[in-house]
Amino acid sequence: MTKRNYATVNPCVMCQPMGSALAFKGIENTMVLYHGSQGCSTYMRLHLAHHFREPVDIASSSLSEKGAVYGGRENLKKGLRNVINRYNPKVIGVATTCLAETIGDDVPAIIREFKEEEGIGDDLEKDIIIVPVSTPSYGESHVSGYIKALDAIVRTFAEKTGDESAEKVPNEKLNVIPVESLSPADVRELKEVFELMAGDYIFLPDISETFDAPLREDLPKIAQGGTPLFEIADMPNSQASLGLGTVSKNLAVNYLEESHDVPGYSVPIPIGLSNTDSFFTELVKILGCPIPVKYLQERGRLLDAMVDVHKYLYGVKAAIYGDPDFVFSLTTFMLELGMNPVLVATGSKSRDFEAKVRQIVEKINPEFEPVVLNGIDFDTLNDAVSQCNPEILIGNSNGRYIAKARNIPLVRVGLPIHDRVGAQRILTVGYRGAMEFLDRITNAILEATDTFTAPVQAEPTVHAGKGKEECVEGIR
């Protein structure tokens, strides 16, 4: 129904190495180095700093024309040396950009060489761990970069601690690994659930502090917080792994299951009523403990809020775009609210996205037929919006030009959000997140349509240039 471009016009995704930074930045004492040209790291540092409103350091091997012709071996080694001298990290995540991949540098081999030259061993306690991940941006998006980096981190740590002949020492912990980057507020909310229900858990990656740190005078070179390294090393001993997201494949969860016999479970990102219900149901199944009363109360309040706003949201046509799993969970919630998500789109090339979205539509509102688009750019999204005529847009801030041109509200959610503050504090997960999101959508609709139906109040006279006495009279 919509035209598809032969070239990308305003991408609806970000670079693959950017996704790797979102993952690496959630690991304790970790620095990121991009092997490629300087512009890549500048663009991604700015992008992340504008979104999270935090300083974001990302080093670069700064390949120039010479490196592009003769290979980037020396640049990468020099970059690693600089990072070690300036930041003194415990882990360095090395992600490739388009240029390094195009010239075909063998990054794992260069890292092996560098470690030999510098006398860096494989001891988790004493040595610096260097984790390479291949993230050419012309292949995929920040979503796959995030998933690949988490997989590389888990594999590197598991292989360093794994002694095939040694007995596994079960730790009774629960591994939790999302397939897409959540906000620091979301991570904090989920950690609270696991603290109450699981006791011992390992959340990977934990950006709750690293991307939302308290202000301090002695700013550390590497933000404090992140998943502790000894916890990552302990993941193969956990009782189970819970993946958050069911559209994209969770490589780290699969690896732990296949190579270390850690049973893997997956639920949708817990946004909205039924997705949060599934999340708690799965936790009860895995951990065998009841749902704390606090969350049952929150669920009841969410239901109450849904009833309250039903008259404003029923039948409202929405367009939702962003990362595949996030969009899937949001779409489920929109359907639960009685809204019509007429256009559901992701910029990532996701094999299962359309089928998953159609399945959930079939389950909740079988009469309804949304347009579902996969791997699109903003130009295609703009055309689709013209055809589907939504009354509200839900997605990241890059859709603001479409919303402005059509004079419809945009509820900002996901990444990036550059034109508003507070992205790090946006809560969408859990019953509480659903309530907050519900309020934001409803208020945006009310603001745009003026359909508020409370008892009518007269215009206050105080603004009409009346005298002081008349105003006082009016207040009485």
Structure-derived torsion over alpha carbons of residues 426, 429, 434, 437, reported in degrees to the nearest 10: 20
**What distance in Å separates the CA atoms of residue 210 and residue 181, rounded to the nearest whole number?**
13
Min CB(335)–ligand SF4 separation in Å: 35
Min CB(30)–ligand SF4 separation in Å: 20
The residue among 42 and 281 lying less far from ligand SF4, judged by its C-beta, is 42
Min CB(311)–ligand SF4 separation in Å: 46
**What distance in Å separates the CA atoms of residue 467 and residue 476, rounded to the nearest whole number?**
15
| Residues 319 and 394 sit within 8 Å (Cβ to Cβ) | yes
Min CB(135)–ligand SF4 separation in Å: 8
71, burial (CB in 10 Å: exposed 0-12, middle 13-18, buried 19+):
middle
Min CB(48)–ligand SF4 separation in Å: 13
The residue among 97 and 332 lying less far from ligand SF4, judged by its C-beta, is 97
The residue among 181 and 275 lying less far from ligand SF4, judged by its C-beta, is 181
Find, among 308, 357, 354, the residue nearest to 333 by Cα: 357
User: Strands across the sheet with 264-267, in order?
Assistant: 201-203, 174-178, 240-244, 264-267
**What distance in Å separates the CA atoms of residue 127 and residue 121, rounded to the nearest whole number?**
6
Min CB(211)–ligand SF4 separation in Å: 20
Min CB(268)–ligand SF4 separation in Å: 29
Residue 366: count other Cβ atoms within 10 Å of its Cβ. 8
Tell me which residues touch ligand SF4 (CB under 6 A). 15, 17, 36, 40, 43, 97-98, 137
The residue among 38 and 387 lying less far from ligand SF4, judged by its C-beta, is 38
The residue among 17 and 395 lying less far from ligand SF4, judged by its C-beta, is 17
The residue among 46 and 448 lying less far from ligand SF4, judged by its C-beta, is 46
Find, among 1, 52, 7, the residue nearest to 26 by Cα: 52
Min CB(202)–ligand SF4 separation in Å: 30
Measure Cα distances from 86 to 80, 82, 209, 216 in Å.
10, 6, 22, 20
The residue among 40 and 426 lying less far from ligand SF4, judged by its C-beta, is 40
Min CB(69)–ligand SF4 separation in Å: 17
The residue among 175 and 396 lying less far from ligand SF4, judged by its C-beta, is 396
Q: 240-244 and 59-60: which strand pairing?
A: unpaired
The residue among 40 and 133 lying less far from ligand SF4, judged by its C-beta, is 40
